[in-house]
Amino acid sequence: MKKVVSIVIPVYNAGKYIKRCIDSIIGQTFNDWEVIAVNDGSTDDSLTILNQYAGDDRITVIDIPNGGVVNARKTALSYANGIYLTFVDADDYLPPVSLQLMVDRLVSTDSDLVVGGYTLLWEKDRREKEINNKKEFNTVGDCIKYCIKNGETFLPVKLYKTDIFRASVNIPHDVTFMEDTIGVLQYLSVCKRVTSVDSSIYVYFKNTGSASMSTNPRKLLSMIKVSDFLMHYEPFERGAHKIVWDKAGDLLYYIIGQLNYIPESREKVRQQIQCYIKNKGKLIGFRDTLLALYLSLPSTAIAIQRILNSFGIFKSMIKRKIWKMIH
């Protein structure tokens, strides 16, 4: 029997948190849902805990070899039977009224996407912070700008239409960082109407065991693929084009200071920067100046970016000094 909402949960070594996640869904005031939890080759007790829910016919557990979050979500999507679709990470959870708020809003506005507010919860000191940024977008273009500006191009904290998601989203398997940015923008590119819920519908748990955000080659290679995607992304509302293009510039600006990790990608990055400079039009600010400098004096541009990365809180002051020297 078709459910109203399919909830996709990729699970990798989340034994410490997955019960809280699923129990938060069982405790929803809205009951017409199904969970598809994909154990992505966990080496802890995640699968054992998931199998404890075998008696609930609303919960499907799939066990696959480790292939990454993109593959796990795609596997789950092939089982999804709901009219609507949402994503929850295994260490996060939902407040009791989340599904009801999102479904009601989507139906009442006849929209293709709902963007919700969320709460940050730090494991270390149990500190909370609500991120319910007043969402004043009325168009798809404004939603794109909102999500990029506020760093909310993640797949969770949103409700999608399953058939639209299946038809529009195709994230490459080898993108392991910022993969959600591709998925959200692919989906938004075909939306006709979007809406929001200003209250918190998701708890994002900042656990002490989260993967390190330190630089590594896989992360950088993914960033190159994401910047390439952004520079070929054509939102049908041109008002969103500038912020998408600027986001690509931000990624390239970061990457050039880390090229020693991926020397084999220097030519690819140079081509992307050429494309960025050619199509940007008027170059504005330090970022664009440094990217332009890379095309003529790559070693100098790389050295400047590395210096900036090492100065932390003094970065703005050093930028101003370098800006004066360049100009």
Question: Hey, what are 216's tokens?
Answer: 């590594």
Confidence of residue 311 (pLDDT cuts 50, 70, 90): low
Q: Where are the beta strands (DSSP E) in the chain?
A: 5-11, 33-40, 59-64, 84-87, 113-122, 128-131, 158-161, 194-206
267/240 same-domain check: yes
70/163 same-domain check: yes
158/15 same-domain check: yes
Of 187, 206, 225, the residue at which a domain comes to its end is 206
**How far apart, in whole angstroms, are the C-alpha atoms of residue 133 and residue 214?**
28
Closest CA to 27 of 106, 94, 120: 94
Of 146, 175, 206, the residue at which a domain comes to its end is 206
161/306 same-domain check: no
Of 206, 226, 243, the residue at which a domain comes to its end is 206
Q: How many residues does the chain have?
A: 327
Q: What pLDDT, on a 0 to 100 scale, did the predictor assign at position 272?
A: 96
pLDDT at 237 over 70: no
Q: What pLDDT, on a 0 to 100 scale, did the predictor assign at position 314?
A: 46
173/240 same-domain check: no
Asked, for residue 244, whether it belongs to a domain, the answer is yes
Look over the chain and give the mean of its residue pLDDT values, rounded to a whole number. Answer: 90
Give the lowest-confidence range in 9-23, 48-62, 125-139, 247-261.
125-139
239/135 same-domain check: no
- Split into its structural domains, the chain has a count of 2
250/176 same-domain check: no
Domain range for 32 is 5-206
Q: How far is CA 154 from CA 17, 144, 325, in A?
A: 20, 12, 39
- Residue bearing tokens 């760093």: 151
Asked, for residue 321, whether it belongs to a domain, the answer is yes
Supply φ then ψ for residue 192, to 5 degrees. Answer: -105, -30
**0.85 exceeded by the pTM?**
yes
267 sits in which H/E element: helix 266-280
| % of the chain residues with pLDDT over 90 | 74
Asked, for residue 157, whether it belongs to a domain, the answer is yes
56/121 same-domain check: yes
